Amino acid sequence: MADQSIPQTRTPEKAVNDGVSESASKEGLSRRRLLGTAGATGLVLGAAGGAVGYAARPAEATPLTSLGAEEVMFHGKHQPGILQGLQARGHLVAFDLAAGAGRKGAAALLRRWSETARRLMAGEAMASDDTDVARDAGPSSLTIAFGFGHSFFARTGLEKQRPVALDPLPDFSSDRLDKARSNGDLWVQIGADDALVAFHALRAIQKDAGGAAKVRWQMNGFNRSPGATAHPMTARNLMGQIDGTRNPKPTESDFDRRIFVPSSGDPAWMANGSYAVVRRIRMLLDDWEQLSVKAQEQVIGRRKADGAPLTGGSETTAMDLEKTDAKGDLVVPLNAHARITRPDQNGGAAMLRRPWSFHDGIDTDGVPDAGLLFVCWQADPLRGFVPVQRKLDRGDALSRYIRHESSGLFAVPGGAAEGEYVGQGLLEG
């Protein structure tokens, strides 16, 4: 978990009225047009002769808030779900192409997926056979992005188009990877600010796959809901830490160079795309929570309360790596996670982190299966993720309290233009 700030949560604006007309109601409305509005059943309490009676009364219609109405465009320079802020609910799913699907089958699948993504992100229903799971909701910032794994290119006869940057990640000594939950031919990232909207998209993508591809693995994640804090702030992870404070920002002059493949990049079909590293990192919470707050702060190198470096200041204050205490010891230990992951300690290596937390139940011995679905984006993983992870692998104090259980690397091409589908330049080029 690198010391780079996660995109901040959003604070919802005041509620807005969608202004649904009577004629539109008769025709049947899309989710985007607010077919159903959120409401609550009122509870009326009364006392008579010592008895308490409960009477339900219908609540007045509540207009869709700006949180539910927020829409992310499917078409654009980059695929959705990279630059947007953190979303409350996420699903990561990898597919393997069916035997014989080949390039033609893959192209048809990406065409279907892209059209479904476009419709759902606009708050519309699927073109056919919609499940109605999200019928009453707005778009809720839904994003759907697609990527290709290393194995995809051999299955489709496109080995010559496989990017060098997609070469398998090196082995790390701390890895305990489950191959069945790693890699895959195709990868889909789904995010939304409403759980039903996100699930609806997941189900739609799975149904669209039909006989062309089958699910290899699927993971569910969550973040703090936008507006849950008094003001936008960097999120906390399941260890209670403010998780990262140095994410690259789009306002920085070299942001695009570090995160996206240039328009003149090689191969051409990856122009304006990015590479996603996906890691399921289990947190050993029982061990972590036995540490005192001071000990936890020594492991991370930052204060738990506000994310400020142990050398003082606020969350965004630069860390003084040379500062010592009265005994002459470094205030930020040499093996502190925040020290090791600093870009200026890794040759400028940078990655845009956009993860989710996960909790998949409690084991029979009472240990929570919980942690971080780590997703990071970079123009080249050999210059982004790999050098940082190698340093962490050699002596990160946090490594005692986490376990990398699955891994994947995916080439995520640039966004689709109007009338095109994601990956068209690869599959029809």
Range of the domain at 285: 77-416+423-427
Is 68 a member of any domain? no
- The model's pLDDT over 134-182, given as tens digits with 9 standing for 90+, comes to 999 999 999 999 999 999 999 999 999 999 999 999 999 989 999 999 9
Is 394 a member of any domain? yes
Residue 2's pLDDT band, with cuts at 50, 70 and 90, is: low
Is 11 a member of any domain? no
133 three-state secondary structure: coil
| Residue 402 Cα to chain centre, angstroms | 19
Query: Is the predicted pLDDT of residue 48 greater than 70, yes or no?
Result: no
- How many beta carbons lie within 10 A of that of residue 425, not counting itself? 19
What pLDDT does residue 63 have? 53
pTM: 0.86
What pLDDT does residue 35 have? 36
d(CA 338, CA 73): 35
What pLDDT does residue 240 have? 97
Average pLDDT over residues 411-425: 98
Average pLDDT over residues 373-393: 95
Q: Is 240 left (phi over 0), alpha (psi -120 to 50) or beta?
A: left
Residue 60's pLDDT band, with cuts at 50, 70 and 90, is: low
Q: Is the dihedral of CA 302, 399, 378, 80 positive or negative?
A: negative
Residue whose token pair is 């492991």? 299
How high is the mean pLDDT of the chain?
87
Is 63 a member of any domain? no
Is 52 a member of any domain? no
What pLDDT does residue 244 have? 65
Query: Is the predicted pLDDT of residue 62 greater than 90, yes or no?
Result: no
- The model's pLDDT over 290-322, given as tens digits with 9 standing for 90+, comes to 999 999 999 999 999 999 999 999 999 999 999
Is 125 a member of any domain? yes
Active site residue 243: yes
Is 3 a member of any domain? no
Is 178 a member of any domain? yes
Structurally, how many domains does the chain consist of? Answer: 1
Among 96, 243, 380, 396, the active-site one is 243
